[in-house]
Structure 1
Amino acid sequence: MKFNIYGRFQVEVRREDNCWQVYRIALGKRGRMNDVVIPSHLEEEEIVTYLDDIFHELAGIGQRVERVLP
């Protein structure tokens, strides 16, 4: 799943070994964000809210975290 974080950057969240892994996407590259930990018990539909909770300090007025559909 890919998410647009307030129009500033994108992340990809993948389920690997029963854990959520977060990768930052930039210019065709992908780097793991080890400092972002998503609890493994969260369901897919809860991740957008969780990302908004942890990145909210980056938000401007009216901005939000959005899932990027393929």
Structure 2
Amino acid sequence: MAAAEPSPAPGQHREAHGHPRFHVFGRVVEVRREGALWQAYRVGADGKRTPSGFVIPDFVQEQELAQFLEDLFHESASPHNGDVYRID
């Protein structure tokens, strides 16, 4: 039997799928906390997830994820998709 996921802190929320998703310079990335580690997945147009191939350090807090992703992928910015933000 799997342990229940902790409820988000006041002022935070989780999407219907249960894990935060981010628009990262035109791509969708889903981030999951699995034990003490973050796991990141690219989300395709069909909704299928594949491992992202990059590492998010375990000390990064959930509220810091968007900034971390922006710092990591800033070279992917373009005039047409120059933002990183949480998808709600």
2:27 maps to 1:9: yes
String of CA shifts for 1:2-50, please: whole Å, max 9, x gaps.
00012x21000000011000000002211011x2101101111111111
Q: Which of 1 and 2 has higher RCO (CA within 8 Å, sep 6+)?
A: 1
2:87 maps to 1:68: yes
- Supply the AA of the counterpart residue of 2:76: L
Whole-angstrom CA distance in 2 between matches of 1:16 and 1:3: 17
Residue 56 of structure 1 deviates from its aligned partner by 0.6
| TM-score, scaled relative to structure 1 | 0.87
Q: CA RMSD in A?
A: 1.3
Structure of higher CA gyration radius: 2
Unaligned residue ranges in structure 1 (runs of 5+): none
| TM-score, scaled relative to structure 2 | 0.71
Q: Which has the higher helix share?
A: 1
Q: Which has the higher strand share?
A: 1
Whole-angstrom CA distance in 1 between matches of 2:21 and 2:28: 7
Equivalence for 1:38: 56
Structure 1's consecutive aligned runs of 4 or more residues displaced over 2 angstroms after TM superposition are none
- Supply the AA of the counterpart residue of 1:32: P
What is the number of residues matched between the two proteins?
67
